[in-house]
Every structure is written in C-alpha cells, then in structure tokens.
Amino acid sequence: MILAIDLGGSGLRAALVAADGVIGATAAVARATGDEANPGLWWRDLLEAAAQLAATDPTAFAAVAGICICGMTRTQVFVGAGGEAVRPAIGFGDTRAAEAVERAEETLDLTGLPEAGNLNPYHPAARLLWLQQAEPAHYAATRTVLEPKDWLAFRLTGVAQSDAISTARLRAAAAPVAGRSLLDALGLDARMLPEIVAPTAEVGRVRPGLPPPFDRLAGVPVFCGSHDTWAGVVGLGALVPGRAYNVSGTSEVLGLITERAVAAPGLVTVDWGEGWQVGGPSQTGGATLRHVLRMLGRSDEDPAAAVAALDTAEFAGEPPLFLPFLEGERVPYWDADLRGAFIGLSSAHGPADLLWSVLEGIALLNREVLRRAEAAAGRPAELVRLGGGGARSDLWARIKADALGRPVELTDEPEAGLVGAAAVAWTGLGRYPDLAAAQAATVRVARRIEPDPARAAAMDRRAELWAEMQAATSEVGRRLGG
C-alpha cells in the first residue's frame, strides 16, 4: 500500500492506496487555511489522520511501502536553522505583499528580467520581499522556504527538498538573466531555495523515534510529490497533451496540457514533465459558494446540499450574471483589488437564482481561462477531466460542460489528489516505468458529460455578456475595494 496525503485549504486527507489506484481506508482532518497558518498544526493533523488509518485497517497500514504528500501551493513555510517554522506560513490567498510589489516596481530596476512580469502579491518572491521589509528578524532567521507538503516531508525525514513544479516561480525568480536574477534585483537571498528533485524522487526515509503511528513506519521511503493540482491532474489521468483539467475545490484550478511551451495572457506556463501546463489557480470556487451562502443567511447549510437542491428549484427566468471576485483574482487577471458583482437582478429573483449564478459565474471564469489556453496552443481541448469536491455534483459538472463547450469526464475515484500521489510513489518504487504508465493503470473514467447543444449556445451568449461585464466593472470594483 501507499500512504497518500493531500493537504488542502480546507484540511488534510489521507488514504491507503493500492497499486491499481483503488483507495482503501481513508481519513480526514478539517482545518481551514487562512492568510496565516501554524505549520505545526498540519503536522498534528497528519499524525491524527495516520492514526485513524492505522486504527481502521492495521494490516494495510503495516503494509505501507511508500509515502507521498501533495498539497496546496502559493503558500510559504519559513524554516529556521534548527528546522523550526520561524513564523506562521503565509497562505495562498494572502495579498499583504501588494504594496511591497508596487514599491519595488516603482523604485527598482527590473528591466530585462522576464520573471518581473509575473511579480504579484501571490508570488513567493513578493512574500519574501514583504517578510524582509515588515519582519526583518524573521527574514534573517529563515534558512529555507518550503511548500506545505515539503514541510511535512521534512518533518518525516529531516530532509528539506522540493520539486521543480511546485517551486517554478521561485526558481524562475532565482534564475540569472545576463548575470542577475529577480531575487538579486529585489535584494533577496537565493540560498533560501531548497534542493530541487523530481516528483518521483525519494526525499528520504521516515526517521526512527517519531510519534505514533509513524514509529511503525520507520525506514519507509517518502517521495517528493508536487502540489495538489499537479497530483490531482495525474490522479485524473489528465497529464496528457491535448487534455484539459479542472480541479474544483476550495478554489478552482484549470489548465490545458500542451506538447510545447506556449504563452497565454494572464496564464501560467509550467513544464509538468509529461507536458506543459497552460492555466493556473483562481481565487474562486467552493469558498465563493460558502461566502454567498453566508451572505444569504445560510452559513450553516451544507454547500453540496444547496447545490443539489438547485436541480429541482424554480427559477424566475434568466438568472443574473455573477463575477466571482470576492477575494480578488489570480488567473487570468492577477488583480487582488477586483471585486465581485451581480448584474441583471430583479425583484423576481430569489436565493436559487443567485446560487445558480454563482455556479455559472465560476464556470464562465473557467471558460475564459480555457479559451486563452486553447488560443495559445492553437487547438481546442479534446476533453476536460473534472476532479475535486466540485466533481461530486452532477449539476455543476453539466453547467461546466455547457460553459466550456467541451466534454467533461469524471473518474471513479473522487479523491484524484490521493490517487495521483499514490501513482507518484508507485512510480518511484519502480512498480511503473513512468507516470504515463501509472496514469493508465490507476485511473478509470466513470462517466462522460457532453455539452447540451441548446444550453451551450445560450451559454455562449452569456459568456459574451460576462466578459463585457467584467471589463466594464473592474475599475469600479477596484475603487470600491481600495
């Protein structure tokens, strides 16, 4: 068995996964990650989840042959010389570095540095710059910057390593161009980068003397893995050129896999090993739905139940359009000051209409990302593999198929990140020769949803209006947000 772990924005999930991708015992510990998070709590959650697995299926737990952790990215853990976290981690939605970025762009010479074009409040270099300026003692105490999954692997093995995919932006900031790097220009120390290895590489082995139940797994290899999106894409069998993916969780992540590197406005292009990813993470998703339920006075309601009820709800006619920028936006706008809006509201509309608009607005943002990626690649996506919590809703999957205008496929295991992490470990152990073979062996498609021609045509019209609405209201939203 593989002990697969997925540390996300809403908590930690773990499972024991067989070589064919079938998930056995599972465990989960809920914990929302905000702008700051105590990395020590993630370690505590890992111990708790592993203890649950060991108690549920002790035989399978004793058969663990490898461990792999995936996790949220755009989150930094600042590790000191003694291996301690010198301060709370900065979460993926944090925008406190905005002013530091603005000052740097106004006062520093960043010309000739391609990565400077990607500098924004979510960039790891921006977070380091903020730390240096706002908390110089913490900056001075930092020896290594790790992703959350690398922090947990470090706690298990005592080895600080990461992969090229998770650290793509930080590595790009450290790469010299004509003798200097973006980190040099910002006055930051490139020695804070950890050693970079492949996702399938063994970081180290579980140290002896760890708290239960890891004391039973001493000597078991821990593999590097990558961030949760990449692992989820592997677990969806979507890390194949020509396919697109949509990981639908606390936030939405969407991208197209291409054979070569292409550049699309507002999107991130990263070498993912089996192909190039063109797309990236948004700030919207399940968290947006929960925010709107709270605004409707329904904060205690289960979001999944609220979505399921829409299948039989009565609507007032054409629903309003919704911009889902309640917390600014990453792809494709990279603007922390964007704000959300409903347009087209009438007195006839009710809560069901608003919730429908939220789902549709998120899907239309995904459409904008996919269309930009497809235009850059010069080809449409063959299909979109859908995973994450949002994949549990047939209604949302249908909305996305119509909005994207592409077939949407769902796999038989909803926990794609855990399947992907296990596929990495099985490949690292030599069970499969490469990740392509591992995907073929571990991923099975459960159903395929084709776009409905009439609904897709109506969605084309609404997508045009949505784009006009976004362009027309963006400056007003920024001024209100400021």
The residue ranges of every structural domain in the chain are 2-226, 237-482
pLDDT the model gives residue 388 = 86
Query: pLDDT tens across 126-168, in order?
Result: 999 999 999 999 999 999 999 999 999 999 999 999 999 999 9
What is each CA distance from 16 to 6, 187, 250, 442, in whole angstroms? Answer: 12, 44, 23, 14
**Residue 446 — pLDDT band, cuts 50, 70, 90?**
very high
Asked if 2-226 and 237-482 have one fold, the answer is yes
Give the fold, CATH level 3, of 2-226. Answer: Nucleotidyltransferase; domain 5 (3.30.420)
Q: Which two tokens stand for residue 306?
A: 């609220």
Distance CA(244)–CA(256), nearest Å, equals 4
- In this structure, which CATH number among 3.40.50.2000, 3.30.420.40, 3.40.50.80, 3.40.50.1860 belongs to the domain 237-482? 3.30.420.40
* End-to-end CA gap in the chain: 51
Please say whether the beta carbons of 377 and 278 come within 8 A. yes
Query: pLDDT tens across 374-398, in order?
Result: 999 999 999 999 998 899 999 999 9
HSE-CB of 158 using CA atoms within 13 angstroms: 9
pLDDT the model gives residue 478 = 82
State which amino acid sits at residue 176. P
Residues 6+ apart with CB under 8 A from 423: 21, 234, 235, 432, 435, 438, 439, 442
What integer is the mean pLDDT of 54-76?
Answer: 96
Query: pLDDT tens across 212-262, in order?
Result: 999 999 999 999 999 998 999 999 999 999 999 999 988 899 999 999 999
Q: Which two tokens stand for residue 73?
A: 């990215």
pTM of the model: 0.89
Distance CA(381)–CA(471), nearest Å, equals 26
Backbone angles phi, psi at 359, to 5 degrees: -60, -45
